[in-house]
Amino acid sequence: MKNHRHQGRQRGRSTPAGLISLILGLLLLLAIPRAPAASFEFWSSHAGAMAQAVRQLCAGFNAAQQQHQVRCVVPGTYEQTMQKTIATYRAAQQPALVEIYDVGTLDMMLSGAIVPVHQLMADHGYRVDWQDYLPAIRGYYTDAQGQFDSLPFNVSTAVLYLNTDQLRQAGISTLPSTWRELEQTARQLRAAGQTCPLVSDFNPWILLEQVSTIEGAPIADHDNGHQGLAAHYLFDQGLHLRFMQQLQRWHQQHLLVEAAATRTGRHTLAFTTGECAMLFDSTSAWHAIARSGLPHVAVRPLPIHADGQRHNSVPGGASLWVMKGFDRQVYAAVAAFIAYLQQPQNQRLLARQTGYLPVTRQVAAQIMDDPDHYPAAVVAGIHSLDAASQPGVGPRLGFFPQLRLAWTEQVQMALSGQQDMAQALSKARQRGDALLQRFRLTYAGPDPAPSP
């Protein structure tokens, strides 16, 4: 199949641009052999604004051409979708295309159940500029050969939200960019009578993965797991240990409040109702924050230590995986849908409506050239994800959802006074190393000899 994309031609002076576009479109349709019509299922895992945007994209694809049909299905949460994908694949009833969250990336890469997306697009005649994808996204989602196995789709990252009205009332005019400045801001808010200066749900995606990557501190060896399955965790020492001990002090001094201790029990809602003045959250929280009606909200990348150097943050969210087991006609339909999703206007649609980030440098540059027409969280997220001076590599490790649970359990015990933070992180690291060893045995046979 010939390339479905074409470069813009020089417009003639005497021929209307619309007529030229029509002629070129007709010529393109005549030149490309049409694959037989096919329909397929696409599984995603969203509610709210993102679910609405996915439905809009699916309807747009079906309306834009008459050849293929995509049926968009929501089987459950990220975790439920992954489990159902495994079960249906074993029963030969899997969807052709499925959205899998970021921490499932390594499992999917090693599953033997997928068609690499770069191969699919090449097989069906699409020339994709994979190098145009933001470096942080390429670094996370490509394999050892630098090829994309899945399509980055709804990408988010962590940011700091600030209620500038509350900051102004406390006499604060400068927004914090370092952890020391954030602490000073929280103390000033507390002194002004704010009972919840800063709120967090203590999510390891932010406090472990994002903070460590931004500071250039890997949480595991072997390039954060990107150089094979022999990795071991490192987060019970160095920067992460010092950072979490700092957060524990803030928690004890009521500068940082757990979401569960707020009136609503939910960190985003505690911010949108005005109970808390600052919030650690995802760029994708922007829709809920904007809908709340808070009049003055600033969004900034997460702080760094004053003596540190900023690296890019970690792309969260999910990517799209093409499953094995279908004929060429179905794969032609999937490839056409993926090409549709990659179009700049559809990346911009997701950014405007949801707070998820663009995936290519082209669209990121378009947004940064016109920031007032996009959510502030998207602009801050691009700044954070595309900190090009120092590339950072986020963790890609086996059984990572279980590691997050172990980290959370131990950190909660430290916050409640049952152990100190060093003990908590040591226990979580030991549990994580046991999970990595089990993952190695699952995918690579006997545990390799330890490094000297």
| Domains of the chain, CATH where assigned | 32-156+315-377 (3.40.190.10), 158-312+398-444 (3.40.190.10)
3-state secondary structure of 255: coil
C-alpha span between 375 and 358 (Å, rounded): 12
Q: How confident is the model at residue 34 (pLDDT cuts 50, 70, 90)?
A: low
Q: Which class for 188: exposed (0-12), middle (13-18), buried (19 or more C-beta within 10 A)?
A: middle
Alpha-carbon span 348 to 342, nearest angstrom: 10
Over residues 264-292, the mean pLDDT reads 96
pLDDT tens-digit readout, 150-204: 999 999 999 999 999 999 999 999 999 999 999 999 999 999 999 999 999 999 9
pLDDT at 25 exceeding the cut of 60: no
The alpha carbon dihedral of 121, 60, 382, 266 has a sign of negative
Q: Which helix (H) or strand (E) holds 80?
A: helix 78-90
Cβ burial of 208 (10 Å; 0-12, 13-18, 19+) is buried
pLDDT of residue 389: 61
323 Cβ contact list (under 8 Å, min separation 6): 85, 89, 94, 95, 96, 97, 98, 113, 114, 115
Residue 75, φ and ψ in degrees, nearest 5: -80, -10
This prediction has a pTM of 0.88
Give the E-state strand segments of 180-315 in sequence order. Answer: 198-200, 256-258, 278-282, 297-301
